[in-house]
Amino acid sequence: MATTIDREELKAKLDGNKDLVIVEALPARHYEEAHLPGALNMPHDQVDELAPTLLPDKAREIVVYCSNRACQNSPQASKRLEALGYQNVYDYEEGKQDWIGAGLPTESGTGAVA
C-alpha cells in the first residue's frame, strides 16, 4: 500500500525542488480544468499503458492524487504503480480539492498530458 502524504509534506517537497513526479489520476477533462503545478495526467485506468512512458524511473518519488479522500482513483493508481515495481509511491489522499481549498496555485490546460 502506498504511503500517504499530506498537503504540508507535498508542498515542502515541491518548495525544496525535490526531484519528484506528481501524477493526477483523474480523466483528462478534470486535469485540463485544473491540476497541481507540473503534474502529469495518468488516469487510474490507464496506468499500465502510460506508466512505462511517463514514469521510466521506478526508483523516483511519485505522488499520485485525485479529487479528494472519497475519490478512489489515486489509491487505485498508486497500488497499480507499486504492483508494476515502482518503489517510492505516495498517495495525496486529500487531493486537488484540499490543495485548491488552501489557496495554493494550480495550472490548467493540457500541460504534460501523454
For the stretch 35-66, pLDDT in tens is 999 999 999 999 999 999 999 999 999 999 99
Which residues of the chain, if any, have pLDDT below 50? Answer: 113-114
* Residue 25 half-sphere exposure toward CB, CA atoms < 13 A: 30
Question: What's residue 113's pLDDT?
Answer: 42
DSSP string, 1-65: -PEE--HHHHHHHHHTT--EEEEE-S-HHHHHH-B-TTPEE--GGGHHHHHHHH---TTSEEEEE
Question: What's residue 27's pLDDT?
Answer: 96
Phi-psi region of 37 (alpha: psi -120 to 50; beta: other; left: phi over 0): beta
Question: What's residue 111's pLDDT?
Answer: 57
So where are the chain's domains?
A: 3-101
Question: What's residue 58's pLDDT?
Answer: 96
For the whole model, what pTM was predicted? 0.92
3-101 belongs to which CATH class? alpha beta
Question: What's residue 109's pLDDT?
Answer: 87
Q: How far apart are CA 44 and CA 65, in angstroms?
A: 10
